[in-house]
Amino acid sequence: MSEQINDYINKIINLDFIQALKMTFVHMTLCFVVLGIIVFFQWFSIFYPYIECIYFLMIQMMYAFQYIQRKKLNPVFMLFSVLLSMLFIYYGKQYSILTLTLPVLFVHMIYLAMIHRMSLYLEKRIHFFIEPIEAYFKQLVPVFIAALLIMGLIYCQNTYIGLFISCVQLCLSFLTSIIGILLIVVLTCGFWLSGIHGVAMVGILARPFWTQMLMVNLICYINHQAIPYIGVEGFYQWFVWIGGSGATLGLVLLCQFFAKSHYLRQMGHQTLQSGLININEPVIFGAPIVQNRYLRIPFLAAPIVMSLCTYIMMAYHYINIPVMLAPWVLPSVFGGFWVTGGQIFSILYIIGMIIVSLIIYLPFFICYDRQLVKEENA
């Protein structure tokens, strides 16, 4: 059963538009880091009113490029999808999720629903034209399709786009609530415990919303307004997934300094450096945590406790809500300092969370370590 689920999930993840979306956000992370540097050091303040439009325009271009490259389509389709999406940038920061979804919609519609089939039809029907005219006529087809899409969207924008935005706002409100945050934590850990890459599964669905929320937070931060969204990616990355999914840095420290079994001591020595930069696949599959009756409980409990603590601290403004994106390979103390706009207290808080994760893992670690010692001495 688990193998069938795994195969089904892999098929979904490997869809062209999902892979294109994934690669878009991978490449755009660096752009968001650069934006964070500009804001952090207050450079080029004259461009602050245009930061949002510039960033989302880059996302449009990157996604269209990634999808068209995978499908080996004519690059002219990228231009049309970007031009169509640009028409909706003026909706403002609260509607910027449109600029994340419309390129996906336009490129996919043009390829699957119209261009692909129209090209097959034209290949059979317009051979009575001479070759140059035939080629030019085929190039005009995307223009007509783009024009039809524009007219349709302009006609229904007041009704359907408003409805779409209302649905998106409901999703954002849920994802930034404590229930939504805990759901993401439980789903991510649950996938990992089943042997599936939890961050890849949850992230590919949630990242467009995280990006929308983070951009709104950044704009509010620049304008010295209240920051609305707690449940952005930086919340999990730097304050919950300390050491990786499951907050396993505490477990790695226990293995490194307190393990009595040879196996856990060796694993702690080998995984400490990677754990400090939030890479914990060696721990998840090496301890192993997957299907481990000793470690799967703290693997789920530690991030839940840390999520609750961090949410309360941010809701009451003891910790700044993340407004930037930092490179994921940074140690958590530096990443948390960066995304909170340089708050010193965030460093102390993250150290405290490492201690919390260590305490939660401790009794389960002791039981597992004793079991391994018995097996090694048998």
Quick one: which of 67, 39, 16, 25 has its CA closest to 211? Answer: 25
Residue 185 confidence (pLDDT) = 95
**What percent of the chain has pLDDT above 90?**
25
Omega cis (within 30) before 288: yes
Find where tokens 């949410």 sit.
311
Which has more pLDDT, 194 or 120? 194
Selected residue with higher pLDDT from 148 and 219 = 219
Task: Count CA atoms closer than 13 A to 200's CA, side-chain side.
Answer: 14
- Tokens at residue 332, please? 């958590």
Per-residue CA distances from 258 to 42, 369, 376 (Å): 45, 9, 17
The residue that leads in pLDDT, 110 or 223, is 223
Say whether pLDDT at 66 is over 60. Answer: yes
Per-residue pLDDT of 4-47, as tens digits, reads 656 666 666 666 666 776 777 667 666 767 766 666 666 666 66
- The CA distance from 292 to 365, in Å, is 11
Q: Two tokens at 229? A: 């969204």
Please identify which residue in the block is written with the tokens 């949002």.
Answer: 52
What is the predicted pLDDT for the residue at 222? Answer: 79
For the segment 176-227, what is each residue's pLDDT rounded down to a tens digit? Answer: 999 999 999 999 998 888 878 788 788 878 887 887 788 788 888 877 888 9
pLDDT tens, residue by residue, 243-293: 988 999 999 999 999 988 899 999 888 888 888 888 888 888 888 888 888
Give the integer Cα–Cα distance in Å for 378 and 360: 29
- Could you tell me the pLDDT band of residue 367, with boundaries at 50, 70 and 90? very high
| pLDDT for residue 50 | 66
Spell out a b/e string for 109-136, using b for 16 or more CB atoms within 10 Å of the CB, else e: ebbeebbeebeeeeeeeeeeeeeeeeee
Q: How far apart are CA 181 and CA 177, in angstroms?
A: 6
Distance CA 206, CA 232 (A): 9
The model's pTM: 0.76
* pLDDT at residue number 12: 64
What torsion do the CA atoms of 327, 328, 333, 336 make, to the nearest 10 degrees? 70
Rounded Cα distance, 374 and 107, in Å: 60
* pLDDT of the residue at 355: 95
For the chain, give the mean pLDDT: 77
